[in-house]
Amino acid sequence: MKFNTKVIHGGQENIDPAYGAVMPPIYQTSTYKQSTPGGHKGFEYSRSGNPTRDALEKALASIENGKHGLAFGSGLAAMDAVLKLFNPGDEIVSTNDLYGGSYRLFTGIFEKFGIKFHFVGMDDIARIEEKINSNTKLIWVETPTNPMMNVIDIQAVSQLARKNQILLAVDNTFATPYLQRPLDLGADIVMHSATKYLGGHSDVVMGSLVVKDDKLAQRLYYIQNASGAVPGPQDSFLVLRGIKTLHLRMQRHCENGAAVAQFLKDHPKVGKVYWPGFEDHPGHETAKKQMTGFGGMISFTTKDDSKQSAVELVEKLRVFTLAESLGGVESLAGHPASMTHASIPKEEREKTGVVDSLIRLSVGIEDEEDLIEDLKQALG
């Protein structure tokens, strides 16, 4: 089954044996009748499992070419479950350019429990290898990275992880399985903030994990059930519905992203533009190798490199909405230093390029001419 068919039908056989509903029903229930103690029809309590969530989890596994999907109450809840696989004294190597909430979870929550994190630029595999020792248990990759759009070679990192018997997890939120499938490139765990492109309509908060290995899946299922950070059936329904149009939306995100990126690159009031579709982007060849397109996420700086000009620009936008998050049908603009990455200390975020003049765009699926006109008027 090819991808465009998978997003609609993948893992969705016999989703409603009772009445044959084409879409999985929303099972808005907390518990289930048992014929005898322990005698149930596959579900006993909705923290442990719910038919609507089950349908979503099967769809998630299908589109990532995985075997097991797990849904969580948010992307950070999904990450939290991964980190609970480890013990005090374990070490994790992470990319140094990543979502501010991920950095906060690593340093603000799990460091105090004795897990040590190393943040390195992953464009050079040697930097990762330098940090690996007998305590290293996980490599955490985000690609393309948020917000600097760096591209990390998943296959090369997976070979390093396998050689050292280390797990590899990839945050695939920006690319989505439409553009990139990390499990096929050797990753052990794929994570999504399903709030973003998978849901696609800015109306739900959710996270997900997908794995192939049965034993790893069982460990994560145990954590999911024991910790209880699961989504409800209504949210599960919304993300499952979003997945069914993922391929159509991503195609337009990519088309509009290319047009907006080129406009910005040619504009005299724009400084640097970060988008992996440009041939002079340092990760362009890697992106061509492991992705089927370059996506709709773009970051850029203003020409005068000042916070004031960046803030004034995003405040003037009319079609782009100034807001946190990304991946919805509507175009969004953000100021990472003040918004999504404010939890990272200024000196740390500026090392990776997250300066005060940086703006991040999530290019939506509107008409590209309207998006470009909006940027043109905002740039003055």
Radius of gyration of the chain (CA): 21
3-class SS of residue 337? coil
Q: Which two tokens stand for residue 165?
A: 């018997």
- Considering the candidates 27, 99, 103, 221, report the single residue annotated as catalytic: 99
Per the CB < 8 A criterion, the answer to whether 68 and 61 are in contact is yes
10 Å CB burial of residue 214 (0-12, 13-18, 19+) is exposed
Three-state SS for 81? Answer: helix
What is d(CA 20, CA 241) in angstroms, rounded to the nearest whole number? Answer: 17
Q: What are phi and psi of 206, to 5 degrees?
A: -165, 155
Q: Which of 171, 188, 235, 356 is catalytic?
A: 171
Amino acid in the structure at residue 310: A
Q: Which two structure tokens, joined as six digits, stand for 173? A: 């939120």
Residue with tokens 């985000």: 142
Contact 257/275 with Cβ under 8 angstroms? yes
Active-site annotation holder among 6, 58, 181, 196: 196
Residue 221 falls in the annotated catalytic set: no
Residue 171 annotated as catalytic: yes
Q: Is 212 helix (H, G, I), strand (E, B) or coil?
A: coil
**Among 16, 32, 47, 184, which one carries the catalytic annotation?**
47
Which residue shows structure tokens 């009772």?
Answer: 18
Cα–Cα distance list, 180 to 41, 155, 282 (Å) = 36, 12, 18
d(CA 154, CA 183): 9
316 catalytic per annotation = no
196 is catalytic: yes
What gap in Å lies between CA 350 and CA 236, rounded to an integer? 37
CA angle 231, 234, 239 (to 5 degrees): 75
Q: How many CB atoms lie within 10 A of CB 41?
A: 10
Task: List, by residue number, the catalytic residues.
Answer: 47, 99, 171, 196
